[in-house]
Structure 1
């Protein structure tokens, strides 16, 4: 057993640092697999049902690396003393109870402080839109495997290798579901568009697959009668019905992670900033290989290329008419089927 895991087991055994897993259902209890979206309910569950710590079960999923712990309300299990933070807890266990914690190595834990609806990093105080986003950020504090080609870091070496395969193999791209390799990103997109078995998003109620999260959520609302989900900003009173719009708002309005243009406009991603900058530069660096028409943005050029193709990729599901370009399809939908939400068919 590594010294880091040894340290983590002492912390979990002798304090109310509650270990949890984070698969896809919120905070999952390491003992009974109950899941909680509310951290306060998770801590209540741990306090009432798992006061007796079972270390072997708690660490069964930790083969190497760090265990996630909720250390919002830290107390010593030996003497019931209130502990101000993780460092204070370690100092208390060493000085007051003579526990053998190896301070020359990592503590073996990823700390989370989760007082309510806000998701702030326990290490650097950065703000995040969700617990999952916070977890990914927290992992980066402990990640030991950094990509040589970009700034991304991974805790697990196999995750880094997978990232390199997909992101840094020249122009080639791999479909993660069927493992087919394509010579360009556009070729991969065409493959995914035409291959429902490779669509990423699955309806948990009926098993149908969708190419985008928006289409899956729209399906759940229209077919299964689910209510439109609202995203309430944890930092201000604004409410959103679109997760992507909410994420963009949160990044720009409540964090320092945005990308700013010299004109003062802010963007949630570097890609969006680059798309905006051409407004100032008037640059048209994307050239159609057939007719040499220049475009400021790559996606506009790609859409234009369909003019030179006989493929009718966009189909109206109401009248079966097909179109070369998305813009033509959207115009058709608005003119002849105005009552049909575009997002319900826009793949």
Structure 2
């Protein structure tokens, strides 16, 4: 949106020429008027040029130095410039600092905050751009303290099991809701909401088209994995086999295939596992809480795989 006349544009390629043609002069007072919060102004820096001498630049710090040195604009480099630079060349979505490419503006915006992590939590290491976001974070206990809390209603729980039970049963804390239902029906998971929209309201099943190639994906996760590993630099590469992963935790889970290291040990039976997820799944075998119940013969199971195996062998005609 244009900060001077409030005209809105869907494409950066249309927005840039509008700024050049309609607003050749700059009014800082008007431009920053809507920035009444603690943070940075987000700017399309695809075509940076000096309005004084018309020289073009690739990066924001370069044009800032140019204005300071060649035009005596007295810029203070001891603090941040107050701008988050985005670049949109040829319909790509690039970070204006490291030039990484992203499939959507939301992911790019999230990435951009990693360059402006000014406040870091000493307990868990998470960083935040603004002090207000950091203060919100430290209001509540960390998982390392053994206390769990709900991000929606802010209730606290002594154990993970209590928190999980709350998540499953407290409908008001489910963060996804249907805008077509009245009152809005709520859902615990995004996939459940999407399925509801298709089956109940006749919404066309969503697909995800890759902007870089002709491929189409049925799920958001497979699309993002494809984009990160094929078209973006924001991926993680295995040093053993060069396989690419969209997230570091996927790479960490894969590495054990090459190393064979089993660093996660069960403190009950001392069995070791290569991945934390494997250990978490194993711990249910020691739990008295049997989560999966067969409604036909009243047998209960700790693990889903045991329940599914039972259903296939004992009740093969019943759809799970």
Q: Tell me how many residue pairs correspond in the alignment.
A: 303
1:148 aligns with 2:129: no
The alpha-carbon deviation at position 114 of structure 1 amounts to: 1.3
The match for 1:336 is 318
CA distance in 2, matches of 1:276, 1:216: 31
**Structure 1 regions of 5+ residues with no counterpart?**
1-27, 339-347
Q: CA RMSD in A?
A: 4.2
CA distance in 2, matches of 1:167, 1:33: 42
The match for 1:10 is none
8 A Cα contact 1:120 1:126, kept in partner:
yes
Change (3 A) 1:96 1:66: same
8 A Cα contact 2:263 2:272, kept in partner:
yes
Matches within 5 A, 1:1-347: 30=3, 38-43=11-16, 55-56=28-29, 58-59=31-32, 60-75=34-49, 81=54, 83-85=56-58, 86-87=60-61, 89-90=63-64, 93=67, 99-149=73-123, 152-164=126-138, 165=140, 167=142, 169-206=144-181, 207-253=184-230, 254-255=232-233, 257-258=235-236, 260=238, 262=240, 264-276=242-254, 281=260, 283=262, 285=264, 287=266, 292=269, 294=271, 296=273, 297-302=278-283, 304=285, 308-309=288-289, 325-327=303-305, 328=307, 336-337=318-319
Q: Secondary structure at the match of 1:69?
A: strand
Change (3 A) 1:169 1:295: closer
Which shows bigger deviation, 295-304 or 105-114?
Answer: 295-304
CA distance in 2, matches of 1:334, 1:218: 26
CA distance in 1, matches of 2:294, 2:132: 38
CA distance in 2, matches of 1:46, 1:223: 44
Higher relative contact order (CA 8 A, sep 6+): 1
8 A Cα contact 1:284 1:294, kept in partner:
no
CA distance in 1, matches of 2:93, 2:293: 42
Cα deviation digits, residues 99-134 of structure 1 (max 9, x gap): 454345432211111124322221122232322222
8 A Cα contact 2:141 2:149, kept in partner:
yes
**Structure 2 regions of 5+ residues with no counterpart?**
none
Change (3 A) 1:197 1:83: same
CA distance in 1, matches of 2:267, 2:74: 67
CA distance in 2, matches of 1:241, 1:144: 38
The alpha-carbon deviation at position 68 of structure 1 amounts to: 0.9
Change (3 A) 1:311 1:233: closer
TM norm structure 1? 0.68
Cα deviation digits, residues 262-310 of structure 1 (max 9, x gap): 4554433343344445556374945495xx595730342255457x435
Change (3 A) 1:189 1:35: farther
8 A Cα contact 2:235 2:244, kept in partner:
no
The alpha-carbon deviation at position 33 of structure 1 amounts to: 7.0
